[in-house]
Chain A
Amino acid sequence: MQDLYREHILDHYENPRHHGTLEHADFTHEESNPLCGDRIRIDVKLGSEGDRYRIAEAAFTGDGCIISQAAASMLLEDVMGKSVDEVEQLEPQHVLDLVGAPLTAARVKCALLGLKVLKTGIKLWKLQRS
């Protein structure tokens, strides 16, 4: 019973890292999981070195189950300073490893919502620039 809701997951849920909104974000994206109503919005500010863009700041808000919100908190902590290209290449398994708890197929979607929002946000930002 404890394995899914282990201490570090509950901690990220209770005390989410990078929680809130950013003023003057370079992009903002929001999505919800239609099945369960989980919702996550992510604001991102980028820093650039030439034409290489990195995640300088990111913040999320949302509501939903513990897994969806804790996974978003862990994801933002993890991607800080990473390049947008790197983030776009992140595999779902990377987030599941961060969560580190056994998830049933139905709950994997909860954990991956944050990654989906972030990747789609980057994609739309790139589209807008080109």
Chain B
Amino acid sequence: MTNDERRATGDGRLGAYEVLRPTLDTSRIRADFPILAEQVNGRSVVFLDSAASSQKPVQVLQAMDDVYRHAYANVHRGVYTFSEAATERYEQARVKIARFIGAPAAENIVFTRNATEALNLLAYSYGRHFLQPGDEILITELEHHANFVPWQVLAQERGLRLKFIPISPEGRLALDKLDELLTPRTRLLSFAHVSNVLGAITDPRPIIQRAHAIGARVIVDGSQSVPHMPVNVVELDCDFLVFSGHKMLGPTGIGVLYGKRDLLDAMPPFLTGGDMISAVGFDGPRWNDVPLKFEAGTPAFVEAIGLGAAVDYLSALDMSAVRAHERELTAYALERMSEVPGAKIIGPTDPDVRGGVVTFTLDRVHPHDLASLLDREGVAIRAGHHCAQPLHIRLGLSATARASFYIYTEPHEVDALIEAIYKARHALKR
């Protein structure tokens, strides 16, 4: 098996080779995250909301600090030393990110603010130019609002039909419905690789193959997969992949759109202005080449450099080991949660097909009350609909509680969660 074959797991399952590999040395990792030494309400923080946004290692903070201290000037402009140094680091970050997801070239990587902006870019640029009234877009019932609302707006504006892959009773995509949902009018399919609520991992490969077979383009929302498992865009053969930097150790304000080169070349710009043109005359502009065509204005290049450092950090750990670590934690958390009377896990309970996201309800305790009480114990979890209201409507729930894990999460933090749940119950006399 080649290195690439080992890395290219689309479905989150690990081959025998990876299972034998030791998982992460969390005590060493935690030493890189100053915030994890903070106290909350007099207790060491137990941070279980990395699916919303991860914490940052000193390596990322230093990479950004170093630019501001030693190499800061606007990129792609000056011919002086600082500008050239900043430009080189910015473009080097693009190369690192391309390698991280197995993209053929750095030009396939467009920097955006986050996955939300990348999806909006696609809806504006691809959707408004390549889709015709009556065309169909297929998304799923479990999508985050970021992969829901742009398509709703586009469908209303352009007279398109928006269709949804339903969820199965066990909380996965009901892919047995895919063939009847894909029609000759289906032009675009967009779905989450890993659900931010159900945790369900969807193997994108068979879906992409079937969509391509009828000539549809496919967007994979990698917001919850790229930070947590090996993802290789060539292996997946997706047309586009989007993800956010802040969920994968990087800073806020930087995200990524990967696209196949011929599609990016054919697409018109999203935002216009400086940096995205090759020339502007009184008769009109000429667009710059991909990817700069999509990066109007001064980009968040310091943040991109920070994301480059985050990718270095994750690559050094090995993404297969990251996945194995989170799989172990998820298995442990699912087991511990099953002991809590009245707790109900939302989504699949097989850790092989579940990312490091454990969403649950507690009988007679509202998730917001639970989250407030857990905070008193220094345990940070998320409560609400997690920007997936349509999914919650389908589940018949107004809100759920969610604990999520990352490279620095340790099993004793799962224990702290369980203990805090019992305490909350007691405080509420439930």
Interface residues, chain A, CB within 8 Å of chain B? 1-2, 4-5, 10, 35-39, 63-67, 104, 107, 110
User: Which of B9-17, B342-350, B372-380 interfaces with chain A?
Assistant: B372-380
Distance from A11 Cβ to chain B, minimum over Cβ atoms (Å):
11
Do A65 and B384 touch across chains, with their CB atoms under 8 A apart? no
A5 to B376, CA, bound (A): 11
Distance from A88 Cβ to chain B, minimum over Cβ atoms (Å):
28
Contacts of B383 in A (CB 8 A): 36
Contacts of A4 in B (CB 8 A): 372-373, 376
Do B368 and A107 touch across chains, with their CB atoms under 8 A apart? yes
- A2 closest partner in B (C-beta): B427
Do A1 and B427 touch across chains, with their CB atoms under 8 A apart? yes
Interface string of B364-402 (1 = CB under 8 A from A): 001111001101110000011100000010000011000
Main SS class of interface, A: loop
Check: B214 CB closer than 8 A to any chain A CB. Answer: no
Check: B153 CB closer than 8 A to any chain A CB. Answer: no
Do B376 and A66 touch across chains, with their CB atoms under 8 A apart? no
Contacts of B385 in A (CB 8 A): 36-37
A91 to B377, CA, bound (A): 32
A79 to B127, CA, bound (A): 53
Tally of B interface residues using CB under 8 Å: 19
Check: B429 CB closer than 8 A to any chain A CB. Answer: yes
Interface residues, chain B, CB within 8 Å of chain A? 366-369, 372-373, 375-377, 383-385, 392, 398-399, 423, 427-429
Do A67 and B369 touch across chains, with their CB atoms under 8 A apart? yes
Q: Contacting A104 at CB < 8 Å: which of B366, B372, B428?
A: B372
Do B429 and A37 touch across chains, with their CB atoms under 8 A apart? no
The 9 A-B pairs at the shortest CB distance, nearest first, are namely A37-B398, A65-B366, A65-B368, A1-B376, A66-B369, A65-B369, A37-B399, A36-B384, A36-B368
A37 to B388, CA, bound (A): 12
Contacts of A38 in B (CB 8 A): 368, 398
Contacts of A2 in B (CB 8 A): 427
Distance from A110 Cβ to chain B, minimum over Cβ atoms (Å):
7
Contacts of B369 in A (CB 8 A): 5, 65-67
Contacts of B368 in A (CB 8 A): 36, 38, 64-65, 67, 107, 110
A98 to B423, CA, bound (A): 26
Do A5 and B373 touch across chains, with their CB atoms under 8 A apart? yes
Do A1 and B428 touch across chains, with their CB atoms under 8 A apart? no
